[in-house]
Every structure is written in C-alpha cells, then in structure tokens.
C-alpha cells in the first residue's frame, strides 16, 4: 500500500498547520507555504493521473485503485451487532478526473489570491482547509468519511465568502450555508438509514469465525456470508454494520427486514421507502450541483465571493454535487435512479434552458457567468439520467471541462473588476482596443464555454447530447424531445456570450463616466498570464485530445452504466413485486 491518496488529502492540511504557526505579519511566507502546499497537491494529482491504470480493474476492490483502508471507529451495539467506520479511500475513473481538476485549480486559486491583503493568515488557512476537504470528498469511499469532508467544506467557504466577499457578502454566505446544510441533512438522514441496513460481509465473516482477522476474504466466503444473511442465518450479534459505499452498492449486503432492503415493501406516502431515500439524496446533491429550482444560492454566492473563491466554487465545489450523484446516489439506488430518470433528466434540461435564459438577462458579467454555470451543470444531470456510456462519459467530461473553463471565466471577470471596481456589462464598451490581450483570453474562454469545436466544452456537450439522443434506443429512459429541447441551450449560450462580447468589447472604447476616476485600464500583467495561459492550454488540450481523459474514465463508466441498468431493472421488478 502506498499512501499517495492520503498524501493528496493531507498535504494542504499540513501546510495549514505550518501557516497556523507562522506569525500574522509574515505575509510572504504564509503565501509561499500555501502555494507550496497547493503545488505539491497538484504534483501528486498529476502523478496519480499518470499512474492510474485506466485499462484494468486492478486490486480487487471493484476497480478502485490505490485503496487505503484502515479501521477508524468500531463499536459494539450490544444485541444489534457492531458498527464500523473505516478510513477508506480509493480512486476510480470517476474520481481521477476530479482529483486532477482539484489539483490544478487549487494552484490557480492560490496565484489568484496573491493580491489578498485583508487578514492574510486567516484567508490562506481557510483556503488550505477547503482544499483538504474537497480532495477528501473526491477520494472517500466510506460514506461517513465522505460526509465528514462534505460538511466540513461548508465552513471555510462560509467564512471565505462572508469575510472577504463583496458588499452583500453576509447575506450571500448565510444563504449558501443554510442551503447546503439543509441539503446535507437530507443526505445525513439517508446515510443513517443506509448504515443501519448494510453489513460489511468481510468483517461479518471475521465476526462469525469464518475468516481470520486481517486476511483477505475469498469470493466464496463473502457470497456465503451474503447468502446466510439473506436467509436470516446470521445472528444479530455478528452483524457488522458499515458505512462503506461499495458495500452499500451490493443489494446482497442489506439486512433482510431492514427498511431499505429491496424486498422490505415499506411504503411511505405511496412511495417505496427506497424511492424516498433516493429523492432525499438527490435533493441533497442537487442543491450542490446546483439544479433549478434549488440553484438560487449560487448567483448570490458567486457575485459576492472574491475572485479566487468564485473560481474554486465554480470549478471544484459544484462538482461535488454531480460527483455525489455518480458515486453514491445512482449505484446505491439504481432502481429509483432508473425509475426517476425522467425527473433527473427533466431537471437537467430545465437547468440548461432556464439558466441560459437567466444568463441572457443579466447585467452583471459575474452573474451571467454564474447562470451559465447552472446551465452547464444541467448537462451533467442530463448525461447521468440517460445512463448511456456516451452520456455518462459526457457528464464526467463536462464536470472536468467546466472546471477548467469556469475557472477561466471567473478569472477574466476578476481582471476587469480589479481594474474598474465594477463589472456591469453596460458600463463598458470597446475594451478590445485598450486591452487586446485580455480580450483574446475572454474570447477564448467564452468560445470554449459555448461549445466551440476544439475546446473541451465541445466534447462534453457532444457526448451528452449523443447519449441523450441514444437513450430511447439504448436504455429507453429518456424521451427524445427532452434532448431536442436541450440543444436549444447551446443556441442560447452562444447568444448570451456573443452578445456580452459585442456589448463590452467591440466598438469604440468607452467606460461609464463615474468609473473613470478610479479605473486604471491596463492590459494583463504577468500574474494574470500565469493563470490564464495554462487554463487556456488545458481547455484546448482536452478539446483536441479527449482520449487523454476518456481513456482513464471510460472503463469505469461502462461498468457503472451496465451495473446500474441491470440492477435497476431487476430491483425495480422486486420492489414492485412486493407492492402487489
């Protein structure tokens, strides 16, 4: 076992400790330590990307690689057996892209934060904590560990927006906090239900004496335990309840008579309990995605957050929502996932269209980009709901590519805001003549985002749409008109980007008179080049060579869709059989 995943998670935490010990006035060293921490994390994530074997289901654990599993909390519940929380991390095709993204954007964010002057120590401390918890989220394979990181993400974000944000920062930060917390409470409810229902076959085998402590179980022993469990032959005392996500994915690990068992037949408000659990989890993650109608925190948070935090929020934090749906919600509840695919896909398309129309109406450039995020995240939901290989590959690709492109977009907004202290579209005209280099990066970012071929955004939208169109034949889950409607989203995004471009950058140079005395309109400086150039290169690189990422993720995706579809149909049949 090597500890690359733990190093990825805890490097920023280590840097945070160093920052904590540095005196407040040493601002340069504090920044340097943060940068070092982020750089090491990026280095490790790139190393992991190269070492990750996209063509093999290595190491046994259902295709997870670099797995680390340690007992963390174990406790006897008397007559109800034991409960077990593991420090359990691993990486597969879904997480490898997110890890890489987090590593890259983490460094960009530090460079972008270089101009922070207010309470530097506190800022970078929180920044590093945020990096740790996001990375932990993407690597955790134990639901408890995931939830820990997921919840802990809120806190640094709350303070980063609330202290270093814009004029309405207090409102925005509280709204962000409450929204996400309510979502995570839904998740908590289901998490409790799941872990009281699911056993760890390996640990149960040890408890039953079928296996020696510390030895890996053979498949036969595990199957034997699962069969005994389903026949009620395991005494309560020997059950080891677990938070492990892979264990929750196996229907054979559910304790008979537990409420979330496929055959439990529990009905609540005319729906099987498993469906309700799915809906709660979906709601929890949909807030994070964010999907219409629970997206309203996002524009506020984005507009008020300082530029680097907007970058992190859009590029990484939003991805936790989509990632959670793929990692947790669909594999654990494939039945409800297929049953509600029209809901998920429908909300996705609604987000695409509604987000784009909002973006069209925005006067604030940053709000426009925030709504374009809502619109693009809709593609993730659509791709996921189609449950086709193309759709899901596209959804993951969209998360990665949107991470790169939205980071660029928010940086670009930050540039003009730094110079003019304003970002209203109608206050500027003809910026191209004064800031040619800046304008070319704006054009790159806008075109990449609207799905211009050659950029990564194109690949992801194409894959999602192909998946969506293929869904009626391949999986029979989504009606074709839904995807047709989604295509109009592309048109709208072209409209709002090009219109903004035309209004702000073309024509004769002019800025709003009241801004003139404070505004210093200069072109990009070195630090800004340092951030924008790599991002533009990455957007192009992954647009021209999509296999760089698809090679790593497609095998996992194939396994995923196959499993979800197969189990989904099977379990739906079982659930409905109990209802008759």
Cα distance from N-terminal residue to C-terminal residue, the chain: 49
- By CB under 8 A, tell whether 453 contacts other proteins: no
Nearer of residues 230 and 440 to other proteins, judged by Cβ: 230
Q: Largest Cα–Cα distance in the chain?
A: 81
**Residues in the chain, how many?**
580
Binding range to other proteins, per CB under 8 A, among 29-37, 153-161, 377-385, 416-424:
153-161
Please state the closest distance from residue 283 (CB atom) to other proteins, in A: 12
Please report where in the chains the tokens 């929180």 appear, as a residue. Answer: 126
Please state the closest distance from residue 333 (CB atom) to other proteins, in A: 17
- By CB under 8 A, tell whether 13 contacts other proteins: no
Q: What six digits make up the tokens of 147?
A: 């939830």
Q: Cβ contacts of residue 182 below 8 Å, gap of 6+? A: 287
Nearer of residues 43 and 122 to other proteins, judged by Cβ: 122
- Characterize the bridge pairing of strands 267-268 and 65-76: unpaired
Nearer of residues 78 and 209 to other proteins, judged by Cβ: 78
Kindly provide the residue ranges of all beta strands, DSSP E only, lying in 152-269, ordered along the sequence: 240-242, 267-268
Residue from the set 148, 228, 425, 540 that interacts with other proteins by CB under 8 A:
148
Residue from the set 27, 59, 196, 578 that interacts with other proteins by CB under 8 A:
196
- By CB under 8 A, tell whether 469 contacts other proteins: no
- By CB under 8 A, tell whether 188 contacts other proteins: yes
Question: Which 3 state secondary structure label does DSSP give 345?
Answer: helix
Backbone phi, psi, residue 75, to 5°: -155, 140
d(CA 458, CA 256): 47
Backbone phi, psi, residue 490, to 5°: -60, -40
Q: Cβ contacts of residue 398 below 8 Å, gap of 6+? A: 376, 377, 379, 380, 383, 457, 460, 461, 463, 464
Residue pair 497/450 in contact (Cβ under 8 Å)? The answer is yes
- By CB under 8 A, tell whether 244 contacts other proteins: no
Residue pair 390/470 in contact (Cβ under 8 Å)? The answer is yes
Nearer of residues 78 and 214 to other proteins, judged by Cβ: 78
d(CA 489, CA 197): 42
- Which positions from 29 to 68 touch other proteins by CB under 8 A, shown as an x/- string? ----------------------------------------
- By CB under 8 A, tell whether 259 contacts other proteins: yes
Binding range to other proteins, per CB under 8 A, among 147-155, 315-323, 324-332, 498-506:
147-155
- By CB under 8 A, tell whether 23 contacts other proteins: no
Residue from the set 17, 39, 163, 501 that interacts with other proteins by CB under 8 A:
163
Residue from the set 18, 27, 47, 122 that interacts with other proteins by CB under 8 A:
122
Binding range to other proteins, per CB under 8 A, among 45-53, 165-173, 306-314, 539-547:
165-173
Q: Which of 71, 183, 104, 88 is nearest to 139 (CA)?
A: 88
Identify the H or E element spanning 222. helix 219-230
Please state the closest distance from residue 152 (CB atom) to other proteins, in A: 6
Binding range to other proteins, per CB under 8 A, among 144-152, 208-216, 352-360, 569-577:
144-152
Q: Cβ contacts of residue 364 below 8 Å, gap of 6+? A: 303, 423, 424, 425
- By CB under 8 A, tell whether 78 contacts other proteins: yes
- By CB under 8 A, tell whether 155 contacts other proteins: yes
Residue from the set 59, 224, 258, 578 that interacts with other proteins by CB under 8 A:
258
d(CA 190, CA 196): 10
Tell me whether residue 155 is exposed, middle or buried, using C-beta atoms within 10 angstroms of its C-beta: 0 to 12, 13 to 18, 19 or more.
middle
- By CB under 8 A, tell whether 174 contacts other proteins: yes
- By CB under 8 A, tell whether 115 contacts other proteins: no
Please state the closest distance from residue 189 (CB atom) to other proteins, in A: 5
- By CB under 8 A, tell whether 182 contacts other proteins: yes
Alpha-carbon dihedral of residues 242, 245, 249, 252, nearest 10 degrees? -20
Please state the closest distance from residue 182 (CB atom) to other proteins, in A: 5
Nearer of residues 146 and 458 to other proteins, judged by Cβ: 146
Residues at the interface with other proteins (CB under 8 A): 73-80, 83, 119, 122, 147-148, 151-152, 154-155, 158-159, 162-163, 169-170, 173-174, 177-178, 181-182, 185, 188-189, 192-193, 195-197, 257-259, 268
């Amino acid at each position: 076992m090597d500890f690359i995943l733990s190093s990825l998670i805890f490097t920023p935490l280590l840097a945070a400790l160093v920052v904590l010990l540095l005196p407040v006035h040493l601002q340069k060293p504090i920044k340097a330590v943060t940068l070092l921490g982020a750089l090491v994390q990026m280095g490790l994530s790139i190393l992991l990307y190269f070492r990750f074997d996209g063509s093999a289901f290595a190491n046994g654990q259902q295709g997870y690689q670099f797995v680390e599993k340690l007992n963390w909390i174990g406790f006897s519940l008397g007559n109800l057996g034991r409960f077990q929380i593991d420090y359990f991390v691993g990486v597969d095709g879904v997480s490898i892209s997110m890890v890489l993204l987090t590593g890259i954007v983490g460094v960009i964010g530090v460079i972008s934060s270089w101009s922070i002057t207010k309470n530097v120590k506190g800022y970078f401390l929180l920044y590093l904590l945020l990096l740790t918890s996001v990375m932990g989220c993407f690597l955790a394979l134990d639901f408890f560990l995931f939830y820990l990181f997921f919840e802990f993400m809120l806190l640094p974000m709350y303070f980063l927006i609330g202290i270093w944000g814009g004029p309405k920062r207090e409102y925005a930060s509280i709204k962000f906090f409450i929204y996400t917390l309510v979502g995570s409470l839904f998740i908590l409810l289901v998490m409790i239900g799941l872990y009281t229902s699911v056993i760890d076959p390996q640990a149960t085998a040890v408890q039953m004496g079928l296996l020696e402590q510390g030895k890996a179980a053979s498949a036969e022993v595990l199957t034997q335990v699962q069969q005994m469990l389903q026949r009620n032959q395991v005494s309560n005392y020997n059950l080891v309840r677990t938070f492990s996500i892979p264990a929750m994915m196996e229907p054979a690990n559910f304790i008979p008579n537990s409420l979330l068992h496929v055959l439990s037949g529990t009905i609540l408000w005319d729906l099987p309990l498993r469906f309700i659990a799915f809906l709660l989890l979906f709601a929890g993650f949909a807030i994070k995605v964010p999907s219409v109608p629970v997206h309203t925190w996002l524009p506020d948070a984005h507009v008020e957050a300082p530029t680097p935090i907007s970058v992190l929020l859009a590029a990484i934090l939003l991805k936790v929502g989509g990632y959670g749906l793929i990692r947790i919600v669909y594999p654990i509840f494939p039945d409800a996932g297929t049953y509600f695919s029209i809901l998920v896909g429908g909300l996705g398309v609604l987000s695409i269209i509604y987000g784009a129309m909002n973006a069209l109406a925005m006067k604030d450039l940053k709000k426009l980009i925030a709504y374009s995020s809502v619109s693009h995240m809709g593609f993730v939901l659509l791709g996921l709901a189609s449950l086709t290989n193309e759709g899901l590959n596209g959804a993951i690709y969209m998360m990665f590519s949107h991470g790169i492109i939205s980071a660029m977009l928010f940086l670009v907004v930050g540039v003009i805001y730094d110079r003019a202290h304003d970002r209203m579209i109608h206050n500027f005209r003809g910026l191209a003549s004064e800031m040619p280099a800046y304008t070319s990066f704006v054009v790159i970012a806008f075109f990449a985002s609207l799905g211009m071929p050659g950029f990564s955004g194109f690949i992801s939208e194409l894959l999602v749409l192909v998946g969506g169109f293929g869904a009626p034949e391949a999986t029979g889950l989504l009606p074709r008109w839904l995807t047709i409607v989604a295509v109009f989203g592309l048109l709208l995004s072209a409209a709002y980007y090009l219109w903004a471009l035309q209004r702000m950058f073309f024509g004769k140079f002019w800025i709003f008179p009241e801004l003139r005395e404070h505004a210093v309109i200069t072109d990009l400086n070195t630090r800004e080049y340092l951030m924008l150039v790599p991002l533009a290169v990455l957007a192009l690189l992954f647009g021209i060579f999509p296999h760089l990422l698809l090679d790593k993720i497609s095998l996992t995706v194939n396994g995923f869709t196959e499993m979800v579809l197969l189990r989904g149909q099977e379990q739906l049949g079982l659930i409905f059989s109990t209802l008759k």
